[in-house]
Structures are given as structure tokens and as C-alpha cells.
Structure 1
Amino acid sequence: MRGADATRYEVDPPIATAREPKELPRARACLHSAAMEAHRLKGQSFAMTRRLLRLCLFLALLLAPWHAAAVELRPGQGVPDLAAHLRYASDPGADLATMLNRFRTGQFGPDLDIHMLDSNYAPEAWAATELINASIADGRAPDPFAITLDIPVVSEVDLYLIREDGLTENLLTYSIFSAFDPAQHAATRLRTPIFEIAPQERVILLAHIKFGPFQSLQMALETPSELEGSTFSSGIALAAFYAFSVACLVFFVGFFLALRDWTSLFYALLYFFGLGLVAVTDGLLFRFLYPNRPDLQSAVGFFILFALSGSGFLLAGHGFGQNGAVRMARSVRALALLSALGFLASLASPGTYAAMAAYVLLGLMVVLALASGGAWRQRQGATHAISLWLAVATVLAILAVLVLTVTGWGGNAVQPALAIKLVYATLLIATITSFAAQFIMIRRQHAQAVAEKVAALEQEAKRSQELLEAEQNYSRARDLAQLRQRQLATASHDFRQPLASLRMTLDGLGDQVDPELRKRLGEAFDYMEELTGDYLSETAPDAPPPSHSGGEDEPYALSLILQTVHQMFHDEAVSRGLRLDMVESSATVTVPPIVLMRIVSNLVSNAVKYTRQGRVLIGVRRRATGPELWVCDTGPGMTAEQIETFRQEGQKGAQSEGHGLGLAVCFGLAQEHGLHLRVHSLPGRGTVFCLAAPPAA
């Protein structure tokens, strides 16, 4: 028979004799036919039997325990993911021989069925697989290999190699409660010594593991060269990660020292303990700080966990306090005290339940820190979408890692050490992005404030320049005014002698002059003498400042001023073909008469001088606030710009022959003596001046 399904039947050859009867060939033919029929029936029976055997074998394979196929090893190549070929069983009380027998009989399953919350002790399990060196047995030397295990914060590991002849080798015996042994580590992974597997040799790899807080198992079979390369690359990656993390911590401290922002200091404290948690997961604190004190492992790990949650609660409380939520801030700070109590409880009962309490506090801390951080970003300025969404995504990732760690649902799909590093680095990037954005915003605000200050200084310098120019103009105007006063005083003094001579001449004429004319000339001489006397008294070195009120004089009728001005300019108006009309009034005022005389005479003089046709009217209107003295003409009028120009001394029109003092003197006198002078003018229609005076008491 060849093959499982091949079946061969043989028939003995016929026996030949010397003499055969004639019937013998016929009988032999019948016998042969009968034999062939029997053979056919027997073949059908065997075919039916084979079908039944195949069905039974198929059912047996379905109902029998599953057996894993052996992992084939190629020459010079390892198996980077040996955990994918592992089979698991959990029986804390079983010994090595029992579990080896169970594996050989197919009682190991494909799932690691352990959970963190099963008890307050480290969950344990057995894992096994079968290896076969597929190299050709042509006399070549055995292939060297080493096993590496990545199990973060594992409690105990026993790794056995069982050969075909029953020889059992203890490749690794590791305990977290033993001193650090560099020979058992390749960077952050556990490793076995180099062992050999001969060509075509079958071995069983059996591991007994007591897990820590993470029920994740990564195992690899590596050649010596592969082990050396993976250890080197892992060391470079670790150095880069820790260098980046330390640089970020320095950034936070520098930010605090530069701006005195306590939020950055709290972030530095939070990420300091976060980096400590990563170092505990990688086993670096045990390796470099207390390698000969394994009894500190549990206490240091729980201290880092609870210190991380406590610093996060302090950060969140500070953030809520800055945003005015005082009660919320106090409640969150109280959770930091709860973290301290949790650490004290972990010293009394270190185990799974204490770790679970730390995980719950960590999850709560992450949520509160995110909430307070968002409020802090809004207080600092516009919230940056990139950093905000990055922070939200990282918080969700942290919560997912915590849930998978506590429940064990992640299995080997989640590598805790790598996940913690990614979460930590992402949080660092998100926080630094927020601080960098805040720093940029502060720089912009500072630049804007500097620019505004520079603009304010420029405006102040401009105003100072204008004040300097105004002071210089005022000094020139004051000097000019003093010169004009001296000139006016000199002129007034010079006028007094001719006026006295004219008055003497007028008095000498006696009856030769018409009485009416003599009266008018006398009033004119009186006005001129009083005017020159006032100029001399005002320009004297010890002259008191002019009074701005007219209430100290006796009341007098405004008609006196109107009549005098009318007599002074009546003849001139007639000579120019104009009518100078006056409306009598009985209103009385206490304004010094010389002031009104000077203002009204200037206004009437200008009106008569520049009015080509029509008339000039002077009169008084009674108002509730006091009498108003009006001077109206039908002259060319003025625009608002011209009025504003003529109010300044030395400014005059193109056709003016004077010195540009008339209107300026009128407005100046009115302002000095508390009077209000208004102008209403339409170009081509005429001008109206209104001088409001206070009524007599």
C-alpha cells in the first residue's frame, strides 16, 4: 500500500499441471469470472470503508483540542513576533511538568485569559510554543538564538526550553524583587543567554509569567546580530525620547522664570512625574537609581503614580482658581490630598487594588486638567484650534490606555510602554504648542504696546514742538504788542498836544462857529482825549490789569453811544452816497463807555468804508439776557473763512487800505470785557454784527 488512501490487492497465480482435462479451461474461466466479481464487490466495500474513515477523521479533528503548528526557523533568521505563535493557559498552582503535558495534549488556547481585577495579586499565566529548525541536517553547526521579552513592570518570569530528548533548560529566571542584573536586559527588554537549536531539531518554549499592571506580552526570537542591532536602535530611540522630554521640562521652567507664570511651573511638575512614570515602565529608575534595592520598586512606582495625579489636581485647581471658580478650585485641590492618602494606603497594601485606585485618579485628573486648561487658554487669548484638538485627542487616548490596562481587553494589541511614550510626547507637544502660541501672542502684544508707546511719544514730541513754536510765536507777539503799546503810548502822548491846541482854537473861535457844530466838535475832542488818556494809562509800567467787568461804573443810556457814533460818521456816509440810520433806544448798560465806543466806532467805520450802496443801520434790540447793539450794512459780505481770518490781527482783505486791526480789536475788546460779539454775513448781501451786553443792575 502506498499513501494513506492507496490500497493494493494481489491474486495468487494458477498452478499448471502436465495433463489437463478438456473441461478444465471452461471451469477455470468460470472460476476467474467468479473471482473478478468477488474482487469488484470487495473493492466497493473497501471504498465505503475509506469514506467512513475519512468522515470519522474529520469529526475527530473538529472535536479534538487544537494543536499549534511548530514555528519553522530559517537559517540566520529569527522570529520578530514570537508572541503571535504563543498558546496560553492559566493555572497558578500547576508545576512545569503538568503544564508541559497540557501543552503537548493541546490544552493551551490562543487567548491570554487573565484580568487585573481577578485578585489583589499579580495575575499569572503560562505561554508556550513549539520551534523547529528547518535547516538541512547536513552536518552544519547549530544555529544560535536568544529570546527577548517586552513585559512592562513584570513581577516574575521563568522561561524554559524543552528539547526532544526531555532535556529542560532554564533560560531565564527574573524577579522584580531581585537585584538588577545587566546580563538579563537588552535596553528595556528582558533577554536570555544565547542558546542553540540544531538543524531539524524540535524544541518547546514554555514560559511562566507573573504580570504587573500591564497584561501585555511581546516576545521575539533573535539571532545575536539581530539582538545587537535591535538593542542599539532601542537605546538610540530611548535617548532621543528622554532628551526631548528633559528639554521640554527646561522650557517650562524657563518660561516660568521669564514670565513668572505659575501655570508653566505646575506643568513642569506634572510632566516631571509623568517622565518618572515612563522611566518606571522602562525600568530605568530601578536600573540607574537603586539597582541593589529591589524592595523600593513597589513604593517608588506607587509614589510616581499618585504624585502624577496629585500634581495634575494642583494644576487643575490653579487653572480653575485663575478663572474665578473658587469652589471648584478648592474641590480639585482636595483631590490632591486624596492622592497622598492613596499613596499611604499603597504602602500598607501594595497590589492590584491600589493600582486600580491610582488609575481612576489619573483618569479624573486628566479630565479636570483638560477642562481647566481650556479655560486658561481662553483667559490668555484666542484658543488655538490645533493645540486644543491635540489635547482632546491625547486625553481620549490616555483614557483608552487606562481602560485597556485595567480591563486587559487590549491584550498584546496594545503595547503599554510605547503607548505611554506616545501619549506623553503628544501631551508635551500640545502643551508646548499652547505655550508657544501664548508666547507669540505676548510678543505681539508687547510689540503693539511698544508701537503704541512710540506713537504716543511721537505725538507728545509733536505737541512739544507745537508748544515750543507757540511759545516762540507768543514771545514774538508779546514783543510786538509791547512795541505797539509803546508806539501807541507815544502816539497818544503826541496827540494830546495837538488836541489841546485844537480845543484852544475852537474855544477861541467863540461865536464864530455854529453852536451845533461846536457841540459836535467838542464831543469829538472829548472822545479823542479820553481815548488817548486810556491808551496812556493802560501802557504805563505800573498800570493794573484791565477789568473784565463793567459793573463798577454808573449805568448810562446806550443812545449816547449811538448818537456820538452817528454824528462821527454821518457826514462821511453821506459823502459816499450811503444812508447812516440810527434807531433810538432807552436801554441802559454799565459797560465802560470807551469800550463800547471803540467797538461800535470800528464796526461803523468798516461798514461805511466798504459799503458801496445802500445804507448802514445802528440800533439796539432788547433780549431776555440783556440788550444787543446791532450794526447792519448792505456791503459785499464775508464768507465764514474770511470772518475767521479777519478776527486775527494783521489779516485784511485784498482791497483793504488799513492794517488789519479793526475786527481783531473789536473781538479782543469784547472778550476782555465779558461781551459776546456775533457775526452773520452773506456774500453779496451784507453783514450784521450783534454785540450782546449785560443789562444794568
Structure 2
Amino acid sequence: MQHMINQKPLGLLPRILRKAVAALTLLAASLAVQVSAQESAQESTLGDTVELPQGNNHLQPFASLRYLIVDAERLAPEAVIARRDQFKPLQNPWVDFGKQKGAVWLLVAVQNTSARPGKWMIDIQRPFVDELLVQKRTSGEPPETLLWADRNTPFEDRPVVSQYLVAPLWMEAGERAEILVGLRSSTGSWMPLTFATPERMRTAHMQEARFNWVINGAMVALVIIAIAMGRLVGWPLVTAFAAYVGLSALFVANNEGYLHRFIWPDAMGAYEPANLILLVGMMIAVLQFARLFAGLAKHYPRTNRAVQVLQALLIAVGVSSAFFWQSDTMRWAVFLHVPFVALAYFSTAILAWRSRVLGATPFLAGSAAILFTVATMAAVLLSPGRFPMTVALDYFHATLLFESFAFLVAILVRMLAIQRDLNRSLEAEVNATREKLQLAEALQESRNRYDLARTHAESLRARIAATSHDLQQPLLSLHRGLKDVAARDPEAAGNLEAALAYLQKVTESGLAGSMPKDDDDEERPDQGIETFPARLVLANCAAMFGNEARAAGIEVRTRGSDVNVTTEPVELMRAASNLVSNALKHARATRVLIAVQRREDHLLLKVIDNGIGLDQAQLDRLSAAYAKGEDSTGHGLGLHLVRQFAERPGHGFEMRSAPGRGTCMILRLPRGR
């Protein structure tokens, strides 16, 4: 309770700022507190008698205190007063003798130097003790017990209702008396005895309560904020954080007496076991938060198992402390785990920082605050009387808020990163939707162009039909004139008859092609693609290259299949003729096979020769445009055009060859129905 050090009341914000400054360096804060306490004690001392403060003031008479430590199970004031000559002056700047099995007695002489009687408050600044006795002893009068309380005394039965033990002191004008204070406590012997006017005590307690409620309220707000982020960062992580912060808030409330004053007034004796259980729960929760935040199970499985073993030990210790909390061994078992947990947590934070875990920097800052807090409390406990325990506790409570805020910032950084990734995904989805709309617009434009081209084609078809119709009559006249020619030269007549038959077929084909389709025929946007028998390609190739093959002494055979192919017929015929022409002209073969093979969802058109073959380097070179063989007189576009045709959807092209073993050219084609 740092408010008892200064003579003037402080506001809440300056108090919090001063506690934050104290967190930067324990040594500087402790020295400042010691100097302040010694100056206050010197100013409030009149020889061996302490002058009670006036107005809105207080004093801590450490320089005038005498003490005696007695090994006793109960407080016996008369037996202690009989040993008055054994009381010794206080050597340290603060009243703290560490853990004592017996009783600690304090004796100080006070005097009301004013001309009026008055009331003062003797503030012990502790909410719970095993046993406390405060007596006023005036010469020639029986001792007056101002306060007696043990661990089961309810707050309402205390002479001054407060979360701290306070004894009222009435002094007549000019009266001098001795104040005897006896204390037994299993949680330590620190006792910042303070004399204050009622106004000063109310102000100080109000400021202290406000500070503690601000801390607890802020921690509850942090829990609510973390829960609101649960869906983004994951409920296990948020649950561990909420458990740690919630248990920390309960730990602060229990230490300051609020839980037993407002929630469990009939369970005053549960203060110490509740403290142990809450401390163990905090350690388990903070380790769980560290494991999940750093991803130990995924990145550092050995460290993860070690932390889990530590958690299991803490669970066993926590369960045991609920039944054996009065045992010194049990208390040490709990407190000795604290530095190990702090080191494990700090080590985990370092691993998270080295692994570049999102939010690792504030996470590391929070773990450093925990480690520094543990070191501070250890220094206070190992050097009783050298440092103010109340200031250390206030610092501990403020640090809990800081580290909780740091952990929330770490979670928030992770949430923002996840939100950023979600925004990027959403932006990508929006862009994809925009591209789809653009494609839809392009498709509609393509359909419009198709309709325009179709209209133009219908016009051309009509013109072809008219032309073919106009040719019919001259052809009939030529047929009649052939009778005269046949009588004079039968051979010439035969040739003319064949030519006229060809022209007749052409005109009939033109007329048939110009006929409009039925209304029920499906219109295809892929203009030029047709489904037709694959054997027609083989037959056309055999007829086209038959004379050339016979003249070169090459045997050309076909092996067809009753299967349809769906593709652009003119382009397929061009590709197939290029493959056959290459085999006849450049393979130096004696046999060429043109075959069609059926597959489940496609078919293969193969041109196979028994020529000299090609190696892989020659195959790669001949695939490029304008590349020609060594004895070629062509333009070098044959295989390149075949590859362009094979780039259509559902098409493919492959060349297989080996020197001396011939060549096999394979076209993959969509199978028609």
C-alpha cells in the first residue's frame, strides 16, 4: 500500500504511472521507498514517543518501534509485557521478519499532543492473519484491547469494517500510551503498522480499492475482448488466455480480501487454500496459453512434452494443496514451482520469437514481465525487512495487468494477421468474380459475332445455291451434245462423261449444303467442328497418295475402325496428309500403315513407317516451325502445323522413333458419338 508512504493523497492515474515506473527497476524503487520511509519515520519521532498525526495525515513509526519474537502457539500479552526489557529496536526500514513459527510483538509509545481528544486508526494493512491482537496500555489503568481477530473472524465482527485489519484508537488531550501489537501468521510476518486519522485512512483505502477494482475491471474487459476474437484465433487459445486472466483477477481479489468480504463471508478460513489453488491454476493456464500460442506441439514436440509434464505436476500439487494447505511442505511445493514455470514460459516465448510466430514480440514482453515479477517477489521474500512487501504486492498486481494486456496484444496481432489473410482471400474471390463477369461479357460478345457470321454464311449459302441451280441447265445441254461426240470419238466421250459426272456431283453437293437445317437441329457455337467416321480420313489419304506411293514403290495400307471422330474435318485432313506425305518423302520406307485405334474416350490416328528412323535430337529439331530435314525441299511447316492442330482441347500429338526402327506419328482425337 504505497499510498501510506507519502504525506499527500495521490490520484489514481499518478499512482498507476508511478507503479509502472517502479516496474522498470526494482533497485531504484526500493531505494526510493527506503529513503522515504526513513525520512517519514524521522519526522514523526519525538524521542521514544511518537506524536500522533493531525488532519489528513498518517505516520509509520518504524524508527521508534521495538520488537520481540516469541515461540508461542497463542498470543499472551501479559507474559510478553513481563519481558519488556527483551524488546529490541527495529534494525530494518520495514517491519518484516520473514516466516516465523511463533508470534511477533511490536511495542511503541504514542502521544496525543493536541489540546483536544481525538480518534486515530491503527492500520495493519493486511486482510487476513492467523491471530492478531492490538492493545492500548496506559500507566495505572488496565490494558484496553482495541482489536483481536483470527483467520475465522468475519469482516462484520471487526471494530472497523474494511478489507484490512484496522484498530480504532481513542486518545484524550495530552494522553500518552503504549500500543502493543501481537501477530501470528503462516503467510509471513510483514506488518506495515500505520497510524492515521480517520479521514486519511478512508482516503487511502478508497484509493487502494479504486486501484484494485480498476485492475480487476481491466482484466475482465481483456477477457471479454479475447472471447470476442475466439472465432478468428481459435477457442483453445482464447480459453487458455481467459482462464489465466480470470484466475489472476481472482488471485488479486482474494489477496486484497474482496472475495471473502463480498462473496464468501462465511468462509474466512479458506483464504490461504484459495490462494494456493488460484496460484497453481494460474501457472497451469499460463503454460497452456504458451503451448498453444507458440505451437509447441507442431514445431517443438520435445519442449511440448516437457511443458505437459510440468502441467501434470502442477495439477497434482493443486489437488493436494486443497487438502494439505496447512503443511509447510505443501506451501513450498507450490512456491518452488513458480520460478520453473516462469522460466518455462520465458523459454517458450523465445522459441516463438525465433520461429517468427505472429504476435511473438508482445508475447515475449509479457513473459519477461512475469519473469521480472517472480524475481522481484523472490528478492523481497529472501530479504525480509529490506523492501516494502505492500509495494511489492501492488507492483505484482499492476504487472498482472500489464502482462495480460501484452498477451492480449499478441492475440490481437495474430487476429489482425488472420483478418488480413481473410481480406486477401475475399479480394481474390472478388477479382475472380469480376473476371468471370468479364468472361461472360466476352462470351456474349462472341455469340453476337457468331450470329453475325452465321447471317453472312446464310447469305453466301443462298448465293451458292443460286449458282449451282444456274449450272444445272448448261450441264443438261452438254449431256445432249455428248451423243454426237460419242459417235465420232468414243474415248473422248468417255473422258468428257467422267468430267461432267464430277461437275454434276459438285453442283448437287453445293445444292445439298445450301439447304437450310431443320428447326429442331441443335446450333453449335463451335463453327467447323463436326462428328464423322474416322475411316473417311484413311480412305481420302489412301486415294490422295496412292499414285505417288505406287510410283515410289511404297506399299500404303489402311486399318480402319467403325468409330466416329469429333473435330474440324479440314484441319484433321490437313494434319493427316502432312504425316503421310512426310512418311512417303523422307522416311525412306517400303511400307506405310495408316491406322485408327479405339480407346475408351478418345481414338488414336497413327502413321507408321519402317524407314530409317530419327533420334531424339532430330525429333526435337523437326518440331519447330520452318525446320526441315537434310534432304527436304519443302517449307518446313508440316509437323509444326500438326502440333498446332493438336493444341486444341481434347487433342494431342506424339512422335516415337528410333534410328533403324522406323517412325510412329500419333494423333490423339476426341471420340464422337
Q: Is TM more than 0.5 here?
A: yes
- In structure 1, the partner of 2:164 is 189
Alpha-carbon deviation of 1:331?
4.8
Rounded Cα–Cα distance in structure 2 between residues aligned with 1:244 and 1:104? 51
Q: Which residues of 2 match residues 492-641 of structure 1 at below 5 A?
A: 492-499=468-475, 501=477, 531-536=506-511, 538-539=513-514, 550-553=537-540, 555=542, 624-627=582-585
Are the structure 2 counterparts of residues 210 and 401 from structure 1 closer, same or farther at C-alpha, using a change threshold of 3 Å?
A: farther
SS in 1 for 2:427: helix
Rounded Cα–Cα distance in structure 1 between residues aligned with 2:544 and 2:304? 83
SS in 1 for 2:412: helix
Instruction: Give the % identical residues.
Output: 16
Paired amino acid for 1:114:
F
- In structure 1, the partner of 2:24 is none
Are the structure 2 counterparts of residues 284 and 360 from structure 1 closer, same or farther at C-alpha, using a change threshold of 3 Å?
A: same
- In structure 1, the partner of 2:256 is 282
- In structure 1, the partner of 2:57 is 78
Q: Which has the larger radius of gyration?
A: 1
Q: Which residues of 2 match residues 121-200 of structure 1 at below 5 A?
A: 121=101, 124-135=103-114, 140-151=115-126, 153-163=128-138, 168-181=143-156, 183-185=158-160, 187-196=162-171, 198-199=173-174
Of 359, 365, 381, the residue aligned with 2:335 is 359
Structure 1 residue ranges without an equivalent (≥5): 1-66, 562-583, 592-597, 600-619, 629-672, 681-686
- In structure 2, the partner of 1:304 is 278
Alpha-carbon deviation of 1:342?
2.4
Alpha-carbon deviation of 1:171?
2.3
- In structure 2, the partner of 1:472 is 448
Q: Which residues of 2 match residues 318-357 of structure 1 at below 5 A?
A: 322-323=297-298, 325=300, 328-346=303-321, 347-348=323-324, 350-357=326-333
Rounded Cα–Cα distance in structure 1 between residues aligned with 2:203 and 2:56? 13
Does the 8 A contact of 2:345 with 2:367 survive in 1?
no
Rounded Cα–Cα distance in structure 1 between residues aligned with 2:541 and 2:424? 65
Alpha-carbon deviation of 1:148?
0.9
CA displacement 1:171-191 (0-9 Å, x = unmatched): 222211333335445643221
Are the structure 2 counterparts of residues 243 and 185 from structure 1 closer, same or farther at C-alpha, using a change threshold of 3 Å?
A: farther
Does the 8 A contact of 2:280 with 2:315 survive in 1?
yes
Of 395, 417, 422, the residue aligned with 2:370 is 395
SS in 1 for 2:155: coil
Alpha-carbon deviation of 1:429?
0.8
Rounded Cα–Cα distance in structure 2 between residues aligned with 1:95 and 1:677? 111
Does the 8 A contact of 2:68 with 2:87 survive in 1?
no
- In structure 1, the partner of 2:88 is 107
Rounded Cα–Cα distance in structure 2 between residues aligned with 1:507 and 1:103? 163
Rounded Cα–Cα distance in structure 2 between residues aligned with 1:100 and 1:195? 21
- In structure 2, the partner of 1:418 is 394
Are the structure 2 counterparts of residues 679 and 175 from structure 1 closer, same or farther at C-alpha, using a change threshold of 3 Å?
A: closer
Q: TM-score, normalised by structure 2?
A: 0.64
Q: Which residues of 2 match residues 451-466 of structure 1 at below 5 A?
A: 451-466=427-442
Paired amino acid for 2:97:
I
Alpha-carbon deviation of 1:510?
9.2
Paired amino acid for 1:109:
L
Alpha-carbon deviation of 1:234?
2.8
Q: Which residues of 2 match residues 60-75 of structure 1 at below 5 A?
A: 69-73=48-52, 75=54
Which is worse superposed, 473-482 or 282-291?
473-482
Are the structure 2 counterparts of residues 525 and 550 from structure 1 closer, same or farther at C-alpha, using a change threshold of 3 Å?
A: same
Are the structure 2 counterparts of residues 401 and 505 from structure 1 closer, same or farther at C-alpha, using a change threshold of 3 Å?
A: same
Are the structure 2 counterparts of residues 278 and 531 from structure 1 closer, same or farther at C-alpha, using a change threshold of 3 Å?
A: same
Rounded Cα–Cα distance in structure 1 between residues aligned with 2:292 and 2:408? 18
- In structure 2, the partner of 1:448 is 424
Does the 8 A contact of 1:555 with 1:589 survive in 2?
yes
Alpha-carbon deviation of 1:157?
1.9
Paired amino acid for 1:225:
E
CA displacement 1:536-591 (0-9 Å, x = unmatched): 45556699956676321474677999xxxxxxxxxxxxxxxxxxxxxx99999999
SS in 2 for 1:291: coil
- In structure 1, the partner of 2:658 is none
CA displacement 1:87-142 (0-9 Å, x = unmatched): 444233495466557666773332357333x6xx5x6422333434454xxxx213
Are the structure 2 counterparts of residues 344 and 524 from structure 1 closer, same or farther at C-alpha, using a change threshold of 3 Å?
A: closer
Q: Which residues of 2 match residues 177-256 of structure 1 at below 5 A?
A: 177-181=152-156, 183-185=158-160, 187-196=162-171, 198-199=173-174, 201-256=175-230
Are the structure 2 counterparts of residues 348 and 211 from structure 1 closer, same or farther at C-alpha, using a change threshold of 3 Å?
A: closer
Paired amino acid for 1:308:
M
Paired amino acid for 1:161:
K
Rounded Cα–Cα distance in structure 2 between residues aligned with 1:621 and 1:240? 88
Rounded Cα–Cα distance in structure 2 between residues aligned with 1:535 and 1:587? 36
SS in 2 for 1:551: helix
Rounded Cα–Cα distance in structure 2 between residues aligned with 1:87 and 1:501? 150
CA displacement 1:391-431 (0-9 Å, x = unmatched): 13321233224424653546542324313311221122112
Does the 8 A contact of 1:160 with 1:171 survive in 2?
yes
CA displacement 1:584-630 (0-9 Å, x = unmatched): 99999999xxxxxx99xxxxxxxxxxxxxxxxxxxx999754559xx
Which is worse superposed, 374-383 or 456-465?
374-383
Alpha-carbon deviation of 1:454?
0.9
Alpha-carbon deviation of 1:258?
7.1
CA displacement 1:54-106 (0-9 Å, x = unmatched): xxxxxxxxxxxxx9754344543533444465444423349546655766677
- In structure 1, the partner of 2:358 is 382
Which is worse superposed, 145-154 or 307-316?
307-316
- In structure 2, the partner of 1:603 is none
Are the structure 2 counterparts of residues 114 and 381 from structure 1 closer, same or farther at C-alpha, using a change threshold of 3 Å?
A: closer
Are the structure 2 counterparts of residues 331 and 303 from structure 1 closer, same or farther at C-alpha, using a change threshold of 3 Å?
A: same
Are the structure 2 counterparts of residues 392 and 303 from structure 1 closer, same or farther at C-alpha, using a change threshold of 3 Å?
A: closer
Of 71, 92, 95, the residue aligned with 1:92 is 71
Does the 8 A contact of 2:131 with 2:184 survive in 1?
yes
Alpha-carbon deviation of 1:248?
2.5
Paired amino acid for 1:79:
H
Does the 8 A contact of 1:323 with 1:375 survive in 2?
no
Rounded Cα–Cα distance in structure 2 between residues aligned with 1:315 and 1:150? 34
Q: TM-score, normalised by structure 1?
A: 0.62
Paired amino acid for 2:106:
A
Are the structure 2 counterparts of residues 557 and 454 from structure 1 closer, same or farther at C-alpha, using a change threshold of 3 Å?
A: closer
Rounded Cα–Cα distance in structure 1 between residues aligned with 2:469 and 2:623? 31
Paired amino acid for 2:538:
G
Which is worse superposed, 534-543 or 144-153?
534-543
Alpha-carbon deviation of 1:158?
1.8
Does the 8 A contact of 1:146 with 1:223 survive in 2?
yes
Alpha-carbon deviation of 1:505?
6.0
Structure 2 residue ranges without an equivalent (≥5): 1-45, 522-529, 559-569, 572-577, 587-604, 608-621, 627-633, 643-662, 666-673
